[in-house]
Structure 1
Amino acid sequence: MKSFFREFKSFAIKGNLMDMAIGIIIGTAFNSVVNVLVKKIIMPPLSLFTDDVNLQAKKYVLRAATEASEEVAIGYGEMIEVVIDFFIVALTIFVVVKFFNRFKSKSEDPKNTTVETPKDIQLLSNMEKLLEEQNKLLRETRK
């Protein structure tokens, strides 16, 4: 049991727990933004193309409501709206990740002087140059 707590403490202290918590909080906030984007910006123009059809109201009735029982229906319209939400979220995340990857690749390029290169990349670049020089000297001495 002590090793479990030691491992959890190591996990939490290394920052993984904080990174996950921050990611979850940002993801939740991002979900709210996407919901508004879909419901207030994207769906109204789509409803113009579909003659103001409300997708959430679309359903296939299996059994009509009576005095004795409730209606039984398959709500396929809501599923369509959730799928649209999913694709918008996926597209948005793709664009954001692509932007960050482009910025990251620029920052990791030691020849790019517009973005400050992180220290670890600079050290690796310097080591690469030294190894190239060493290999060149070794080749010259073998001749």
Structure 2
Amino acid sequence: MGMIQEFKTFAMRGNVVDMAVGIIIGGAFGKIVSSFVADVIMPPIGILIGGVDFSNLAIVLKEAVGDVAAVTINYGAFIQTVLDFIIIAFAIFMAIKAMNSLKKEKEETPEEPPAPSKEETLLTEIRDVLQQK
């Protein structure tokens, strides 16, 4: 089997396709969460602590000189990123918790064995009659 054929077989497996879809949806979800944190959560928090805009919070290590930009540590952006992570981690935790509870419910309900077919019933009756003789 050629390398291209092996790659095609690998890439078209259900797991790889599912993973690709998950990554795409995860990227979009990450953008939504980033916007939620930056545009919805951080402004009220900034107002509560005195009108602070977190995106502008920084420690200046070296002032700007002429055309050279200032060297800063942007800890406000870091705080927003940490909140993004916490929200995404919580959402994933809740999704996994829901999946695990569904899995437990499935494990707790034992499946009944299927009813024997007509052939099996007939063969059982023939066996019983032969054992009696």
Q: Structure 1 length normalisation: TM-score?
A: 0.66
CA drift of 1:68 comes to 5.5
Q: Which residue of 2 aligns with 1:139?
A: none
Task: Give the CA RMSD over aligned residues.
Answer: 2.2
With over 3 angstroms needed to count, the CA separation of the structure-2 counterparts of 1:40 and 1:71, relative to structure 1, is: closer
With over 3 angstroms needed to count, the CA separation of the structure-2 counterparts of 1:62 and 1:19, relative to structure 1, is: same
- Which moves more between the two structures, 27-36 or 8-17? 8-17
Matched letter for residue 29 of structure 1:
A
Q: Which residue of 2 aligns with 1:41?
A: 40
Q: Which residue of 1 aligns with 2:72?
A: 73
Report the count of equivalent residues: 113
3-state DSSP of counterpart to 2:79: helix
CA drift of 1:48 comes to 2.5
Unaligned runs of 5+ in 1: 112-121, 127-143
Q: Within the alignment, does 1:23 sit opposite 2:26 as a pair?
A: no
Unaligned runs of 5+ in 2: 114-133
Q: Which residue of 1 aligns with 2:59?
A: 60
Q: Which has the higher Rg, Structure 1 or Structure 2? A: 2
Q: Which residue of 2 aligns with 1:86?
A: 85
Contact 2:55–2:76 at 8 Å: present in 1 too? yes
Identity %: 39
Contact 2:38–2:80 at 8 Å: present in 1 too? no
Instruction: Using CA pairs under 8 Å that are at least 6 residues apart, name the structure with larger relative contact order, 1 or 2.
Output: 2
Distance 1:85 1:54 in 2: 17
3-state DSSP of counterpart to 2:109: coil
3-state DSSP of counterpart to 2:72: strand
Q: Structure 2 length normalisation: TM-score?
A: 0.70
Q: Deviations over 1:43-77 (max 9, x none)?
A: 23312221121112111111112236331211122
